[in-house]
Copies of this chain bind each other. A is one copy, B any other.
Amino acid sequence: MSKSKKYTELSTLGEFGLIHHLTKDIRLKNASTLKGVGDDAAVLDYGGKKLLVSTDMMIQDIHFDLTYTPLKHLGYKAVASNVSDICAMNGTPRQIVVSLALSNHFSVEGTEELYAGIYLACEHYGLDLIGGDTTSSRTGMCISITIIGEAEEEEIVYRNTAKENQLICVSGNLGAAYMGLQLLEREKTVFSGNPEAAQPDFTGYEYILERQLKPEARLDIIQQLREKGIRPTAMIDISDGLASEMLHICKDSGIGCNLYEEKIPIDYQTYKMAEELNMNATVCALSGGEDYELLFTAPLDAYDTLLTSESVSIIGHTCKAGEGCNLITRDGNSFELKAQGWSNFKNEAE
Task: Give residues in A with beta carbon < 8 Å to B.
Answer: 5, 7-13, 15, 18-19, 21-23, 26, 28-30, 32-33, 35-37, 41-42, 44-49, 51, 53-57, 59-63, 94-95, 97, 99-102, 104-112, 115, 119, 122, 126-140, 142, 144, 146, 148, 150, 344-345, 347-348
A10–B103 alpha-carbon span in the complex (Å):
9
| 14 pairs of residues in contact across A and B, judged by CB atoms under 8 Å | A7-B109, A18-B134, A19-B134, A21-B108, A30-B94, A46-B49, A55-B97, A55-B146, A56-B99, A56-B133, A57-B144, A97-B146, A104-B347, A137-B140
Closest to A143 in B: B144
- Please state if B108 and A138 are interface contacts (CB–CB under 8 Å): no
Contacts of A47 on B, CB cut-off 8 Å?
46-49
A132–B216 alpha-carbon span in the complex (Å):
22
- Please state if B55 and A133 are interface contacts (CB–CB under 8 Å): yes
Give which listed residue, B49, B115, B136, contacts A345 with CB less than 8 A. Answer: B136
Closest to A138 in B: B61
Would you give the shortest CB distance from A250 to chain B, in whole angstroms?
Answer: 22
- Please state if B111 and A22 are interface contacts (CB–CB under 8 Å): yes
Known contacts: A29-B127, A106-B10, A129-B26. The answer to whether A150 contacts B57 by CB under 8 A is no
Contacts of A97 on B, CB cut-off 8 Å?
42, 53-55, 146
- Please state if B18 and A111 are interface contacts (CB–CB under 8 Å): yes
Give which listed residue, B5, B9, B130, contacts A108 with CB less than 8 A. Answer: B9
- Please state if A23 and B129 are interface contacts (CB–CB under 8 Å): yes
> What 5 A-B pairs have minimum CB-CB distances, sorted nearest first?
A47-B48, A7-B107, A144-B144, A42-B130, A139-B139
